Chains A and B, each alone.
Chain A
Amino acid sequence: AQSVTQLDSQVPVFEEAPVELRCNYSSSVSVYLFWYVQYPNQGLQLLLKYLSGSTLVKGINGFEAEFNKSQTSFHLRKPSVHISDTAEYFCAARAGRRALTFGSGTRLQVQP
C-alpha cells in the first residue's frame, strides 16, 4: 500500500532561519511526489512536484525539495523563511494509477 509520512506535526522557526520539512513515502513502484501549501481557511496550492529527472526540484516562493530514492524521502527546504511562509504544508504521493495520498501535514510557524 502507498503511504506518506510527515514526521513533524509542527515546526517553529525564527524569521530568516533555514527550515526543512520532512516527508517519507512508501511505495513499491515509481512515484510522483508533490508539496502543497495551505493558508488558513483556503484550499491547497501546489508548491512543487517531482515527476522524473533531476532529483532537486525548485518551486514557488523560494522552496525546493530533494527526491532521495534510497531513503524514500522528499524533504522540503527553504534557506531563509519569512513570516508570510506561516502555513500548513502537505506532502503527497501518487504511484501509478492510484489516487493521490496526502501526509497529515506540517504546521510551519515563523516567529519574528
Chain B
Amino acid sequence: EAQVTQNPRYLITVTGKKLTVTCSQNMNHEYMSWYRQDPGLGLRQIYYSMNVEVTDKGDVPEGYKVSRKEKRNFPLILESPSPNQTSLYFCASSFRGHGGDTQYFGPGTRLTVL
C-alpha cells in the first residue's frame, strides 16, 4: 500500500530535550516536506526537500532541522524543543515537487512540549 508513515504519532516531552520525528514514504517520491498545523493558522511549511541531500527552508523553519540522506526518509529534528513548538506535525511527499503534483500526507504527529 502506498503510504507516508510517521513516528511517533503522539509525543509528550520537556523543554530542551532533543527529539526526532521520523517520516518515510514508499512511493519513490523525490519531494518531501514537513508542515505544522495550529488552530486558526492552517498548515505552514517548515522545511522541504526536492531530492536526496537537497533541503530548503519553508515559511517557519526556526527551531527545526531536517536531513535527507535517503530518498524514502525525511526526519524532522528538534534540537532544543520549546513550548511554542507544541503542534500537530505532518510529513508529505509528492512525485517531483512540481506545482500540479498531488501531495500525500502522513497521519500526523501530535507533539506537546512542557
Verify that A and B bind, or say they do not.
no
